[in-house]
Structure 1
Amino acid sequence: MRKGVILLAALAVAVLAGGLWITRAVPLPESAVPESAGDAAAGEQVFVAAGCASCHHAPEAEGDAKRVLAGGQRFPSDFGTFVAPNVSPHPEAGIGTWSLAQFASAVQRGVSPEGAHYYPAFPYTAYARMTAQDVADLWAFWQTLPPDATPSAAHEVGFPFNIRRSLGVWKTLYLREDWVMEEVPDATVDRGRYLVEALAHCGECHTPRDALGGLERDAWLGGAPNPNGRGTIPDLRPGALDWSATDIAYYLESGFTPDFDSAGGHMVAVIENFAQLPAEDRAAVAAYLKALPGGE
């Protein structure tokens, strides 16, 4: 009996240790953080393509105020409502005291400077594919943005999803750096892949999710229910989206479809961002979408 109790206790300790190991927050290794300072001008283009302001500006912000990253926008989901935090360079309310390494770990691993997991409403599963130089450039541009003292609001997430430690298991399943489109035919599609799968994180909205909230990569960009419960987000695969590459590029610049309809919802902000990028980037996204398989 005594030996059995000892064995069970040892097993319990081993299970606990394994659970703590699997659920730990793992920051980006130092070797993956660039040593040189980034370029702020290049970082502005990364900032726009990644849609940082679209989520983190104040709810009613317009014009230049959209670059004041005070947070406060609400994003409902099946797991609760997530509230965008203040990520301005303010030293107390924002992230003004962070280092480049801490910023890179947050953006690409979803790990806070305190060693806690961020919820994947922050699309670090897409940003994990960013180049180290783009992260450094983005951080350099971040330093030029105005600080704001607005306190961050808490997420409205109930049990058991409020146990952040469990996100370590979620990351084991879904945090990957490999590309969905494994091979690309040319440099244009390669650039489109980088924009769609990494910076612009298009799959976060346009790909269905499983019961745990992970993207179903077998149905990549195949459309999904709208998280707010109203309607669906369209399928972008060639068999469902019969627009020409020119049509797609023009839509990303103007918001107008070939049928003279216009974009709505969060896509308005996406187009606002893409309209600021070079025409070559919009053409690259179009080429990528036309190169996708499936959707018939």
Structure 2
Amino acid sequence: MRRRIFLNAGIAAIIGFGIYAWLTATGGDILADAVTRPAFTPNPANGLGVFNAGGCASCHAVPNQPDRLKLGGGLAIPSPFGTFYAPNISPDKADGIGGWTEAQFVTAVTKGVSPQGTHYFPAFPYTSYAHARISDIRDLFAYLKTLEPVAGRVRDHDVPFPFNIRRNVGIWKLLFFDSKPFMPDTAHSPQWNRGAYLVNSLGHCAECHSPRNFLGGIIAAQRFAGGPNPEGEGWVPNITQKGIGDWSVKDIDYFLKTGQTPDNDSAAGSMARVIKNTSQLADSDRAAIAEYLKSLPPVDGPPKPKKAQKEGS
């Protein structure tokens, strides 16, 4: 009887582990290799636009130095699950992505899977980049290869157990990762669709401007409605018409270019880093983003704590 119990328990454990391994497997490298196999002539100039729209310098530039193209990483990104450190994405072959293939890069950016076949933590906003056109990501890779290599490997993330188990991210992806490509809405203008594409893919605006549940997934019903700063300090504003309904399209455009709000305030914190990127965008892209954001219906976000209200953050 005891032997049968142990045997059944062993079989159940093997089956359970098999299911866990299947659910947490990556498999993204095969998909990315398939989409990068066709002949392609990269456009580094477009890659620069993708670089700015994606805000790559905001996280990956070496902190406390003026050159936003020095992509040696190292920025600390606090979160409720631990502190993440942005990696080196310069073309350095030892410490950056200089030894990566194009397929590996596309896999990392759109599938959240490393060249070693492990899941990236979703502090890397591949959940938004997944909606980008593959051609844009390939152009971004071509542009990054034109930059100066920066030596130096970034320290490991400071993430406690059990959040440090990368395989568990596979379960998180099953729950929260929508990898469908962006589909234009024919009911709207080309400019509106361009803005929708930039905001929801490369710009990854929802990653900061949306509240999250206890597992770190965006609460879909309150997308863009603001909430606690994922980095732990202050409050991220609501960017639906509930929050910026009195801003005009021109106000939003001007803010993205200068960081100045209609009431003569200025962007601070992580948004100031974002403005350094959006200010580099083509005027038409900023106008498209502004048009799309202005069209977002009003959505109530989570209530601000009294302290945040008093600080006006």
TM-score using structure 1 length: 0.94
Q: Deviations over 1:24-64 (max 9, x none)?
A: 122241322253142111111101110111100111121xx
User: In structure 2, which of residues 104, 120, 124 is the aligned counterpart of residue 118 of structure 1?
Assistant: 120
Task: Please name the residue that 1:104 is paired with.
Answer: 106
| Structure 2 CA distance for aligned equivalents of residues 278 and 271 of structure 1 | 13
Q: Percent identity?
A: 44
Determine if contact 1:89/1:142 at 8 Å carries over to the other structure.
Answer: yes
User: In structure 1, which of residues 81, 89, 110 is the aligned counterpart of residue 83 of structure 2?
Assistant: 81
Task: Please name the residue that 2:44 is paired with.
Answer: 40
Amino acid at match of 1:223: G
Q: C-alpha displacement at 1:4, in angstroms? A: 4.9
Q: C-alpha displacement at 1:267, in angstroms? A: 0.9
Q: C-alpha displacement at 1:240, in angstroms? A: 2.1
Q: Deviations over 1:214-273 (max 9, x none)?
A: 111110100011133322000011122120111111111111111111111111121111
Task: Please name the residue that 2:209 is paired with.
Answer: 206
Task: Please name the residue that 2:131 is paired with.
Answer: 129
The aligned length equals 294
Q: 1:68 to 1:182 in 2, by over 3 A?
A: same
Amino acid at match of 2:270: H
State which drifts further: 10-19 or 140-149: 10-19
Q: Runs of 5+ in structure 1 lacking a partner?
A: none
Task: Please name the residue that 1:164 is paired with.
Answer: 166
State which drifts further: 25-34 or 246-255: 25-34
Determine if contact 2:80/2:232 at 8 Å carries over to the other structure.
Answer: no
Task: Please name the residue that 1:90 is paired with.
Answer: 92
Amino acid at match of 2:125: P
Q: 1:275 to 1:127 in 2, by over 3 A?
A: same
| Structure 1 CA distance for aligned equivalents of residues 232 and 165 of structure 2 | 25
| Structure 1 CA distance for aligned equivalents of residues 95 and 117 of structure 2 | 18
Determine if contact 2:57/2:277 at 8 Å carries over to the other structure.
Answer: no
Task: Please name the residue that 2:310 is paired with.
Answer: none
Task: Please name the residue that 1:197 is paired with.
Answer: 200
Task: Please name the residue that 2:256 is paired with.
Answer: 252
Determine if contact 1:70/1:148 at 8 Å carries over to the other structure.
Answer: yes
Q: C-alpha displacement at 1:142, in angstroms? A: 1.0
Task: Please name the residue that 1:231 is paired with.
Answer: 234
Determine if contact 1:181/1:193 at 8 Å carries over to the other structure.
Answer: no
- Counterpart of 2:78 in 1: which secondary structure? strand
Aligned CA-pair RMSD: 1.7
Determine if contact 2:130/2:180 at 8 Å carries over to the other structure.
Answer: no
Determine if contact 1:203/1:221 at 8 Å carries over to the other structure.
Answer: yes
Q: C-alpha displacement at 1:66, in angstroms? A: 1.4
Task: Please name the residue that 2:157 is paired with.
Answer: 155
Q: Deviations over 1:87-131 (max 9, x none)?
A: 111111111110000000110111111111111111000000110
Task: Please name the residue that 1:222 is paired with.
Answer: 225
Q: C-alpha displacement at 1:159, in angstroms? A: 0.8
Task: Please name the residue that 1:186 is paired with.
Answer: 189
Determine if contact 2:125/2:204 at 8 Å carries over to the other structure.
Answer: yes
State which drifts further: 285-294 or 151-160: 285-294
Q: C-alpha displacement at 1:287, in angstroms? A: 1.2
Q: 1:55 to 1:240 in 2, by over 3 A?
A: same
| Structure 1 CA distance for aligned equivalents of residues 237 and 274 of structure 2 | 14
User: In structure 2, which of residues 290, 299, 302 is the aligned counterpart of residue 286 of structure 1?
Assistant: 290
Task: Please name the residue that 1:265 is paired with.
Answer: 269
Q: Runs of 5+ in structure 2 lacking a partner?
A: 301-313
Q: C-alpha displacement at 1:180, in angstroms? A: 9.3
User: In structure 2, which of residues 45, 54, 59 is the aligned counterpart of residue 55 of structure 1?
Assistant: 59
- Counterpart of 1:239 in 2: which secondary structure? helix
State which drifts further: 202-211 or 267-276: 267-276
Task: Please name the residue that 1:21 is paired with.
Answer: 22
Amino acid at match of 2:202: L
| Structure 2 CA distance for aligned equivalents of residues 34 and 125 of structure 1 | 23
- Counterpart of 2:243 in 1: which secondary structure? coil
